[in-house]
Structure 1
Amino acid sequence: MPTDNTPSDNERSSSDKEAANMKLETVVQRFLEKCNELNENPSLWRFVEENTDFIAKNSDRNSAIEAKWAGIFGAAMKQRKIEVAKVNKKPDFGAVALKMLELARESSKDHSTSAVTATTKTPSHTSFSTSLSSADKARLAQTFQNLKEDRFWALHLDESLNVDQRVIEFARSCNYYHPSQSLILDLGDGNWETVFSGAQLDRIEAFGDPLFCDLPAEIIEILNEVSKLKTPMEAYKFARTLDFDPIKEPLKHWVSLELQKSSQLHFYGDFHLTSMLESDQQYEMWSFLKSMVNGNKIKAVGKEGSSKANADENNKKRCISAVDPAIHRKMGRKMDLLYESSGKELGCIEIGKDEDQTKEMKDGLLKMPIVMHDMLLQVAFSESLLRCVHVLGFVIVGMCIPQMSSSMKSNSETSPT
């Protein structure tokens, strides 16, 4: 029987509801501050993107999650008299559902008496703060111990530099998830400046075969002429004077078409990148990254497709129910554009509407290296291909296009850079 100081069920329920409402208010306020930083109107898509964990932790699997949170978000914006932005991107409630399944599995493991082998999984969505448990670190140590050290990648400078060993030591020192735990060495990540010296990083970056093929002399001559042009109209007229066979000379055809198209954007003085949606940027501003594969066997697939290579890697240990129940197949990370050929993924693109350092870091240092790593593992399926294969990625942030490359070194098992 409860004492006078013990809250009743109704009081406890009311208290829990009040606490949940206060937390929601905090989340909404932080979200609005984030939108203000990005200089964009709030949208349901952005709210779900930024608060996947919170939504998953505060949702019931038996309820209509999408309708529920659309209503909560709409009511919060209406209360503040804020107009909701209409965007072409659908809220990723699939990521919310996956996170809810993850939380449910973790909860069932906490209450289970059976011994289950701990595994470190790549986060289902990109986050800066996915912490590692003691069990995760123990599994990583075991995984690294099973690698063949005679196949580690060594660079010979003044003294022998075992690159893979340095990567593994750094990965084991991390308290949060980092791509190094998948043996990914991303030279764009400033953390490596604490692991390697500047000279060592320069040597690593210069190692290996050239990324791009040499351009034909005729194309170089055309580009030199373009560099001399001063107005969009001059560029447009020059592109129309080029003579070529579109079937036999696809590269020259591409230069002509894209030069005309990009010139036209500036004809009327109403071109404003900041007012364009991500989808508009993809199909108008940066369309040349999609059309550049025209005329060969590579296809560019847009519309935020899910990476099959990433999905296959995430599900490679999936099996039927036995001691533990079978888990649902996980989706691959969604990319704004994927390059594919013969059923294999060869590269990807992520587009950000504005110059957003947080999004650039999430996409360029966490999300894309993992996806490109999985692509590379599927394409470089034999040792003879290790140094012949490159997987390309582009992170478009405002007016900047940092290019990324993923490749393997000759005597390393899985060390993309």
Structure 2
Amino acid sequence: MESGSLDNEAPPPHGALGTEISDPETRQKKCQEEIEKYVKEQHNAGGDICLARFLADKQGFVAENSSKISNYKAFWRHSFGRIVKKLGVRTAKGKANWKAIEASINKEGEPSSLTSSASKTLSGTPLSAKVLEYVNEMYNSKLKYPKWQLSTGKIVEDTMHAFAKECLYEHSSLSLILDISDPCWKAHFTPAELVELRTYHKPELKPLPNELKEYLDKFSGVYDLNKLIDIHMQNRFHPSQADLHWVEKTIGDILDLYYYSYDVDNKTEADLVRRLWGFIEKCYDESKFYVISGEKVSVSSSNRMNEDRSVPGATPLTRKKTGTKVDILIKHLYDDFGVGEAGLSGGAVSTKYITEASIKLPKSLKDVLWNLLKMATKDTQQLCVPGFIINGTELTVKLMDIPSGNACRVYTLGPMPFPLIPETFFKNFIPLVTLVWQWSTQRQSTSGACVGARGARPRGCGVRGRGHGHN
């Protein structure tokens, strides 16, 4: 096709967005008209034209018009291909993120977990009126427990609700999550109130045992690789000394990386997780917990999404919704006790890191907490769920608890760098091994607060019904 502007005018669609269309021919025509309008706008603006970008930019529209199509992927591929062929425009390459579309369909058009791999992340997707309506209903009438009142008289949930009303895009407060490291709260709480939010019923992390501290102190002030290896070779521990054996193996693995000049710049995400961060999984070797990795569906997320699923009688049984997929799960038997996300690089200011650390991971942690609360037999303040983000050579840890009222509080620790050279071994390794050991022992406290056998009386998670602000 000759270069030049395409006509921006497109025939008006049959029915406004959000209107139910039962006639397949009418639905198909409406979708093709929307595609044609989009392609023309992209062409005139000089933007890339591809199915992946269309699906990302028009996710709500696509999800809304896919729920009653058995093979919706083929429908959109065929429709998009037909329109671009009709207009004679060239298309760019792009990987369609069907998982995000499926998530939106499962969640009735609400924003998904911000994991789009297309050209436009979902963090830039405006909130729908339906989401905002649900959030207001949640704060106004679905809170299960008395609200958290600070010593100044300020009500935490009311303050969060006031901020949530101002949100045009996704934020953790829409899910009743209070991330105390989020700078937005400085404008809504005084410095003294922020201290109270941080310290009230703060989770107690155990200090390292003396024998571990004494062993690690042997490496203090040592920067030469051969001397580090000598100290390691002179101090070996039997597997029955679980903590010492774990730390000793971890140090040996790190020293091997130094000795064999392991190149972290020429590795995949899976390589770095396995070689640099494998000690996280090995920390649970002698415990009743285990770690699985590789984009697995969170059972907690699936349980929460399908909590109200039943045989309705008058209508067909609804399709089971797919839970959120995470990169790493800490489990005991069937239940999740922690989650993790892994990325290759980009730093703490990258879009992927910010969206996963600020929204996806906290919401996944709340699913885990919600599921554990159903089994809790003791004070819910004893429950604390860990999450972590591996961002190349950095580790960030988040801890979630419910100190009072209904809000889920999130602490952020890090990011902490991996010790990449012998000169930084002691300085960077001690915080990492300490925190990993602490959160592994915290799991024991959380497990102890939950009933041994499954099927305890449900207790909820601050909100009656779904127990989650929005999906």
Query: Following superposition, which runs of at least 4 residues in structure 1 exceed 6 angstroms of deviation?
Result: 12-18, 23-32, 46-52, 57-60, 79-82
State how 1:34-53 maps to structure 2 within 5 Å. Answer: 53=59
Structure 1 residues 359 and 139, CA, compared in 2 at 3 Å: closer, same or farther?
closer
CA distance in 2, matches of 1:48, 1:385: 48
The one-letter amino acid paired with 1:392 is P
Seen in structure 2, the aligned counterparts of structure 1 residues 184 and 236 have a Cα distance that, compared at 3 Å, is same
Where does residue 317 of structure 1 map in the other structure? 308
Q: How does 1:324-403 map to 2 (within 5 A)?
A: 325-356=316-347, 357-381=350-374, 382=376, 384-403=378-397
Higher RCO (C-alpha 8 Å, min separation 6) = 2
Amino acid at match of 1:333: T
**Change beyond 3 A, Cα 1:407–1:13:** closer
Contact 1:373 1:416 in 2 (8 A): no
1:298 aligns with 289
State how 1:1-400 maps to structure 2 within 5 Å. Answer: 53=59, 62=71, 65=74, 93-99=98-104, 121=110, 123=112, 125-126=114-115, 127-147=122-142, 151-156=146-151, 159-246=152-239, 248-269=240-261, 271-321=262-312, 325-356=316-347, 357-381=350-374, 382=376, 384-400=378-394
Aligned residues of 1:184 and 1:415 also touching (Cα < 8 A): yes
Alpha-carbon distance change, 146 to 67 in structure 1, aligned in 2, over 3 angstroms: closer
- Give the % identical residues: 21
Counterpart Cα distance in 2 of 1:207 and 1:285: 35
Give the CA deviation at 1:383. Answer: 7.1
Aligned to 2:408: 415
CA–CA distance in 2 between the matches of 1:67 and 1:136?
Answer: 25
Give distance in 2, aligned partners of 1:166 and 1:326. Answer: 39
Q: Which amino acid aligns with 2:250?
A: E
Letter in 2 for 1:99: S
1:150-187 alpha-carbon deviations (Å, 9 max, x no partner) = 7222232xx23322222232223323332212211012
Contact residue 150 and residue 156 of structure 2 kept, 8 A: yes
Q: CA offset at residue 397 of structure 1?
A: 1.8
Unaligned runs of 5+ in 2: 1-8, 12-29, 82-89, 116-121, 411-471
Equivalence for 1:39: none
TM-score normalised by the chain length of structure 2: 0.65
Q: Distance in 2 between matches of 1:29 and 1:234?
A: 57
Number of corresponding residues: 363
Contact map agreement 1:52 1:95 (CA 8 A) in 2: no
Q: Which one is further off, 276-285 or 189-198? A: 189-198
Provide the C-alpha distance between the structure 1 equivalents of 2:405 and 2:290, rounded to a whole number of angstroms. 30
Contact 2:338 2:368 in 1 (8 A): yes
1:391 Cα deviation from its structure 2 partner: 0.7
The answer to whether the 8 A contact 2:145-2:406 is kept is: no
Give me the whole-angstrom Cα distance separating, in 2, the residues matched to 1:49 and 1:276: 30
Report whether the alignment pairs 1:404 with 2:398. Answer: yes
Take 2:106 and 2:396, find their aligned partners in 1: how far apart are those partners? 35
What's the offset of the Cα at 1:25? 7.2
SS in 2 for 1:313: helix
TM-score normalised according to structure 1 size: 0.73
CA RMSD of aligned residues (A): 4.1
Conserved? CA contact 2:386–2:397, under 8 Å = yes
Aligned to 1:40: none
Distance across 1 between alignment mates of 2:97 and 2:256: 34
Structure 2 residue matching 1:394: 3-state secondary structure: strand
- Equivalence for 2:118: none
Question: In structure 1, what is the Cα distance between the partners aligned to 2:266 and 2:332?
Answer: 34
Which residue number corresponds to residue 114 of structure 1?
none
Offset, 1:359: 0.7
Hey, what's the Cα distance between the residues in 2 that align with 1:275 and 1:378?
39
Q: Secondary structure at the match of 2:150?
A: strand
Task: State the 1:313 CA deviation.
Answer: 1.2
**Long gaps (5+) in structure 1:** 33-43, 73-78, 85-89, 107-120
